[in-house]
Amino acid sequence: MNAPAHIIVVEDEAAIAVAVVYALQAEGWQVEHLGLGSQALVRLQAGGVDLVVLDVGLPDISGLEVCRQLRRFSQIPVLFLTARNEEVDRVLGLELGGDDYLGKPFSPRELVARVRARLRRPVLQSDEMQQWQVVGQLQIDRQARRVRYGRQLLELTRYEYLLLQALAQRPGAILSRAQLMDRIWDAASDSADRTVDTHIKTLRGKLRSAGADEQMIRTHRGLGYALEG
C-alpha cells in the first residue's frame, strides 16, 4: 500500500490555513503548515514533499519567488492560492513554474479535486530535470525533440513539434498565427491561418489521445493560441 502524499501548505492567514489543512487531512494526506516563504524553502530543500499549496501574498517573500527558487531544485507540483485573480498574476505564476492557480475565496471541494489531479501526474526526477522542459504533465526533450504527456511518448510531425515547442516557451502567453508562422515555417504562406489551424487541430488530437484536456492549447479569438499547464 502506498504511503499517503505529503503536502506543504504555505499560508499566513490563519483561518484559510486551518480550512485548507482540514480539507486535505480529511482525504488522508499528510499535511504540514508553514506561514512564511523562507520557512517553506528550507523545508522543501529537505525533500519528502509531494505537493505545495502556496499563497502568493506571503509576509516575507512572495509565493511567486518561492516557486521560482523551488524550480531550481525540484519539480514537485505547486498550486497557487491568491486573493489576486487577474490574468497577469495567473500567467506569471505559470511562467515561473506553477502547475495550477486557485483564487480566493475558493471551495474546499475544488481545492481537493485540483490537488488530487496534480498528485496523479508524474514528477520528473532530478537527473531528468535538465533534459526535459516540464509544463504541467507535458514534458519536452528539446535535444532529442521528444514529447511526453504523462508517461506516454507522442509521435509528432516536425511542424507539430515546433508548434508545441514555440507555445511551451512561455506557457499561458498568447502567440498569434503570424508569430507562429514566423517562428516555424521557412516562408510565409498565403493560407497562413489555415496552415496553423490545421496543425493545431492535429496536435490537439494527439494530446487528447494521451489524456490531455481539450483546452490544453487554448484558442483566444482574434488573438491566437496559448498553451495552458
Q: Kindly state the cell numbers that stand for 208.
A: 487528447
Q: pLDDT digits over 16-43, tens only? A: 999 999 999 999 999 999 999 999 999 9
What's residue 85's pLDDT?
Answer: 57
- Residue that finishes a domain, picked among 119, 148, 181: 119
Q: Which residue has the cell 517553506?
A: 40
What's residue 89's pLDDT?
Answer: 59
95 neighbors 134 (Cβ within 8 angstroms) = no
Q: In the predicted model, what is the mean pLDDT of residues 109-113?
A: 92
Residue 83 CB partners (closer than 8 Å, separation 6+): 57, 103, 104
Q: pLDDT digits over 118-160, tens only? A: 887 655 444 444 556 778 788 888 777 888 887 788 888 888 8
- Residue that finishes a domain, picked among 87, 119, 151: 119
- Let me know if residue 128 belongs to a domain: no
Q: 32 is in which domain, residue-wise?
A: 6-119
Residue of 59 and 99 predicted with greater confidence: 59
Number of domains in the chain: 2
Query: Do you know the residue count of the chain?
Result: 229
Percentage of the chain lying above the pLDDT 70 cut: 84
Q: Are residues 143 and 218 in the same domain?
A: yes
